[in-house]
Structures are given as C-alpha cells and as structure tokens.
Structure 1
Amino acid sequence: MIRFDAVTKRYGPRAAVDAVSLEVRARRICVLLGESGSGKSTLMRMVNRLVEPDSGRIMLDGRDIAGVPPEALRHGIGYVIQSVGLFPHWRVAQNVATVPRLLGWEDARVAARVDALLDLVGLPPDRFRDRLPHELSGGQAQRVGLARALAADPPVLLMDEPFSALDPGIRRELQGALRDIHAGTDKTILFVTHDVEEALLLADELAVMQDGRLIAHGRPGEVLARDAGPAVRHLFGEQTLAFHRLGTLPAAGAARPGEAAAAPLLPEGATLKQALMLMLEHGTDQLAMPGGGALHLSDILAAA
C-alpha cells in the first residue's frame, strides 16, 4: 500500500531521511520507532506531502504521489497528531465532519457518519456531539481527532505520536482502542513513536530508524531476535531487550508435557512475557497450560 523507494530529505548538509526504502503492507499497523531526530516524523509527513522529498519516490497503492495534487492526496489520507488540532469554536460534530463537508457530502450522510464514528471511538453521540473542544478531556479530544481522521473513510491513516502527551492510563486505553478500531476497519496505519512499549503493543510491522536511516524492519519478533544489531540493542537497552522479546513469543511453544500441580492456569494464547508476569504475581516457578502440560521458569529464561 505504501512504498518508499530510496527516499531522501536534506536540511542543509544534514540528511533528515537518508535513502530510505520501505514497504508497508496494506491493512497493517507499521510503527516507525526511533529516538528524537531519527527522521521518523519527516518520513511519515512525506506520505501526505507536508514535506517534499529531495530524491526518491513514494508510491501509494501503486501510484506515485508526486503526480497527485497535495489537497486531493490529503483528502484520501487520515492524519492524527499529538496536539489534536481541533477547531476551538466548532462543536465535536462539526470537527469530525470537516473532510466530508469539503468533499460535498449531503447533510444526512454527514450526520450519520459523525454519529457512527463517535460510537466507534467510544464517545456516545448524544453526549458528545454538541460539546466544544474545551469541554473535553485530553483523551476525549484525541478520540475526536481520530474520528475526524476516519471521517471520509480513507484507506491510509498517519499518526504522529498521537498519545505521547497523555497520562499513562489514558494512553494505554487509547492504544487498546486503536487496535480494536484497526481490527474493525482494516486501515493501513503508519504510526510514529519513540516509546518502545507502545511500538511493541501496536505494531504488526516495526521499522526502526536512527540518524535518518532505516536500520531494521520486520515483525516485532524478527526485529527483537537474538541477532539484533547494536543500534537496535542500544535503542531497546541491553537489559530489557530480552524481556521485550518474550512479548513476541507464544508460551505454548516452550511448554513441557506433564502436569503442573496446583499451579495457576495460563490464559490461552499468552506470550512468554505474560507468563513471566503471572509467575511473579503468584510467586511460583511454573504454570499450568490450558491444553495440558506445564511451563517452567527455566524454560522462559532459556527462551530469553
């Protein structure tokens, strides 16, 4: 769905994005992960031509975006940013309806779409449709921003650190909501973050950037493999890389035959990271598996 071919962007002598080639498959959440200044936001903003590349090519659904007028391109791409950017004197329904109005939708279609989207993002329309932005909490405002980005049903959604200014509890709530929304809409999402936990929670694909270059790309488990390069180990931290890797490995693959006497039962489909946390919670070194068999602490440590 989105393909970057040797894309470069320079600011003076420095390459903010340096010859990046990356393919983001349709209907996946691809997380661009990296420290501040790594080039991840610049790369993402080139998709909707808020930033123009100096060289290279960006293809969207097989079409070179350089040949698409920026306004027409942006009408087909949802965009969510950290500061939300709601129009302060417009009510929630008006904010969500921004792009459908620009596209000339009929009033009844707009109203139905607004209500459906507010329901989708967890804001009951009868309670939130007529509120002004200053009457919303930070989490509620970000949900409105997400609804607005989805309003014209774009196939692609760009999200630039949208949850980074929120309290941890609200942030986790919205991360879960995004996964649910993605499962129900099948959008292709390019999501920028510098937060490792957020990246691993959301990513179907993980693209790691450093100093403008793409240094790793693949499923999270592939990126966190034992042979991860030094730049990836630095980003995740040597002490925590193995712990994060456990979150990509199914616990069932490390279980042994036999019974775990009086041990807590591990939920179906749990990862080794979830198994380790359950062991710590119950003060035990083994767990019973849902289909029979046992998982031992030594097996988890060996997998790490």
Structure 2
Amino acid sequence: MKITLDELQAFATVVDTGSITAAAQQLDLTVSATSRSLARLEEKLKTTLLRRTTRRLELTEEGRTFLHSARAIIDSVDSAEEQMLARREQPSGRLRVDAATPFMLHVIVPLVRGYRERYPQVELELNSNEGIIDLLERRTDVAIRIGQLKDSTLHSRLIGHSRLRILASPAYLTTHGQPKNVEELAKHALLGFNQPETLNVWPLLGTDGEPYRIEPAVQTSSGETLRQLALEGAGIVCLSDFMTERDRASGRLTQILAPDTLDMRQPVQAVYYRNTAVSSRIASFIDHLVEALDGKLPERAAAGWAAAVK
C-alpha cells in the first residue's frame, strides 16, 4: 500500500502540536482516526516514527529523517494547489515569516496593516529569532536575513542595504564625555553582540589600519536589547539605521565619531528554500516589502569592507 497525503499530514501535525489529541483538533478529526492514520504510516514504512511515553511523543532518528521528506511533500502539494488557485483569486492561506526582533519591530510590524488590507486572505504568522534558523525545520516560508548569506540552498531577493553608525545617548555622553577619536573608545563602555563575533567589528579603523573590533562590556544576542541599553545610557553601540532612524531624529541617540565612521552597509535579503516554488503568498509579501521600503534602505554597499570583516 502506498503512503497517502493524509497520513503525512497527520504525522507532521502530531509532531508540530506535540500530541495526537491536539493534532486531531487541528485536523478536525477524531483522536482515534488520527492515531490510526499514524499507525498505518508506521506499518507501511515498517519502522517506528514516534516513541510514545506517558508525558510526550518523541521523534525517533528514523522519524526525524522522514519528517523532512514528509514536510517537503506536503509543501510541494500545497504550492501546486496554490499556484492553480492563484490563477483566479488572490493569495490565501498561512504565511510564516521570520526575522530578527529589531527588523520585525521596526520594519515589518509597521507594514503589516497595509499588507493585510491588500491581501486579506493571507494569514500572517510572525516569528522572531535572533540566530539563523532552518526554514524547513521551523516550517518558515520566508525569512529576512541581515548580512552576507552563506546558505547556498536558499533563494534570495535583495531588499536593500542599511548603514551602520556609532551611537550613544545624550545622558551617557553628558556623564562620560564624548570620545574625540577611535583610540578614546577604549575608555568607554562598549556594548556588543555575543554572536557572531563579526557583529563586534565596527565601521572604524584602528591605529593599525585594521577594522576595529571591540571587546564588549555588555553583550547580548539581540540588537533591540542593545538599542534599549543605549537609550538607557548604559554605553556606546553600533547599530543599523533601520532600527535607530527615529531615535536619531528625536535626539534620543546621537551619532559619534562621524568623520571616522566608514560607509558600511549591511545587505538585507528575503530568503526561501531553493527547492520551493515561489508561492503567491511568498511573492506577495516580498513584493510588498520591497515596494514599501523603496528608497528607505539605500542600495549602495561597502563591498570591500564586508570582505575585510569576514
């Protein structure tokens, strides 16, 4: 007997929800029907996909391997169905979007209302992760990546570039003074990232002529946390324009060492899996993002600098 799409969906939904009962509710099936579907799948594959304990369900090694294939099949069918529907109606269905917290809060969130008005049948699911995620594992349709891409399995579309600046609050500068040159930064509280280390290379040149790498007094995984620390006067930061534009305009953050700051701009790209057909949902979201940000994320980048800090 051949595996059915319903059996694959039952398996993937049980994994996603964590229980057969929750999966049955999401699939609008009875618990017994969902359990039988999972049992049939395991029988056809002649292997155990999930270990059942009194507290939870746990994927076996075989189950973890099969899950990737099952999701790829489900996504492929969903994509084929949507492409047919797109011929006669607007994009519809769930669209899972992932971005780092600062980009989500300062760029995507202000654009959601306009996107929903334009595509009311798309159900947006917005997730924030500070690190790079596996799009298939997290069932993510499109992710926003800031910086140079390394994953060759991804399609990408450039949204623009965002400039980096050295910033501090007026309160911090009043208390600790303003550094007059790069060397004086060593006397100040510098705030940075715990990973990756390349984010602690600032758009400055040290006395040796090399890119200036800081040793953070406080480090965190989130750019938004760094922004809040800077606003509270905790130290000096290096952050992207897309998240500090309003702070600079209002005077809550002030650019320092402007004459010494190199024109370093991070590429901002929308990515999705190379083996996934571009659904109308994905295309509609990326198109809306590019249109809405036209001119707000300059296209010019300091390519030489990007190569120097790798």
- TM-score over 0.5 (shorter chain): no
- TM-score if structure 1 supplies the norm length? 0.29
